[in-house]
């Protein structure tokens, strides 16, 4: 991920710690932070749901109800509104500043996207899509990195259709984050969910038989669905195809 050249040309540095450059749109705001010296216990808080994503350098994040962790380039973090972040910058310096973006997203845009998913891509077994924003830390997929890069460019430029373009990209980003969260829940809580969740049951079966040949036909039978319906539901809910999921399990 890289900052657009226009940002680097127009930013205004005021301090050595957490310089902030902000851009706004109708349903979101983009804040880019740069830190030019080592620091500890820097506090940050937003009044809306925020997606934070590392661009360069390293942070150590201290959040309530979880152990401290390294926050590195290629990783993102979803936090609820009013969540207090306590941040250390162990490596920042003038020659190689730590860079991070924080994008706040309006509650209305989140609700609109969740409603769209529930109407057009309903989950199995009576479950609904929910956006919990509960300190979800994840590695960016290629598609997520591409969306964030595109959003950075859109926020910085002054296109007359900027707000519309940003709304389209926000919707895709939220859907991909929700799918990644669903995949994490299914893979980390497989045993607990398998008794009443068909996808969790399939994942449990995949793991128990990972050294055996596995076909979409066999997996769809385990889920009591047709092959085409199983393939569609699996990909909609987890964000990857059954074959890609199996390949990822084999490589882990």
Residue 150 CB neighbours (<10 A)? 16
**Best CA proximity match to 2, nearest among 146, 175, 214:** 146
Q: Which helix (H) or strand (E) holds 29?
A: strand 28-35
Determine what percent of the chain is predicted with pLDDT higher than 70.
90
pLDDT for res 198: 87
C-beta separation of 147 from 176 below 8 A: yes
* pTM of structure: 0.84
Q: Which of 25, 102, 16, 88 is nearest to 57 (CA)?
A: 88
pLDDT higher than 60, residue 183: yes
CATH class name, domain 5-113+130-182: mainly beta
Residue 59, pLDDT > 80, answer yes
* Mean model confidence pLDDT for the chain: 88
With CA atoms as reference, report the closest residue to 140 among 81, 85, 72: 72
What's the pLDDT score for residue 45? 92
Query: Residues 194, 195, 198, CA angle at the centre, nearest 5°?
Result: 55
C-beta separation of 181 from 129 below 8 A: no
d(CA 148, CA 1) in angstroms, rounded, equals: 8
List the domain boundaries for the chain: 5-113+130-182, 189-251
Q: What is residue 50's three-state secondary structure? A: strand
Superfamily for 189-251?
Answer: Homeodomain-like (1.10.10.60)
């Amino acid at each position: 991920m890289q900052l657009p050249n226009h940002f680097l040309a127009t930013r205004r540095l005021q301090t050595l710690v957490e310089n902030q450059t902000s851009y706004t749109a109708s349903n979101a705001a983009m804040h880019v932070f740069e830190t030019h010296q080592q620091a500890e216990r820097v506090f940050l808080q937003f009044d809306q749901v925020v997606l934070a994503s590392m661009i360069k350098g390293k942070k150590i994040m201290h959040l309530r109800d979880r152990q401290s962790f390294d926050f590195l380039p290629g990783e993102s973090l979803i936090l609820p509104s009013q969540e207090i972040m306590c941040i250390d910058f162990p490596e920042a310096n003038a020659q190689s500043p730590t860079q991070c973006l924080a994008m706040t997203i309006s509650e209305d845009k989140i609700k609109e996207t969740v409603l769209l998913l529930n109407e057009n891509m309903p989950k199995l077994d009576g479950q609904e899509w929910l956006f919990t924003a509960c300190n979800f830390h994840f590695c960016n997929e290629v598609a997520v990195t591409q969306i964030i890069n595109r959003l950075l460019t859109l926020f910085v430029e002054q296109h007359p259709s900027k707000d519309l373009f940003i709304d389209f990209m926000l919707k895709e980003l939220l859907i991909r984050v929700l799918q990644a969260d669903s995949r994490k829940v299914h893979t980390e809580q497989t045993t607990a969910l398998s008794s009443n969740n068909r996808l969790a049951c399939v994942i449990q079966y995949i793991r128990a038989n990972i050294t055996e040949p596995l076909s979409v036909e066999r997996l769809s039978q385990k889920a009591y669905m047709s092959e085409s319906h199983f393939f569609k539901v699996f990909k909609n809910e987890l964000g990857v195809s059954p074959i890609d999921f199996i390949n990822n399990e084999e490589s882990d």
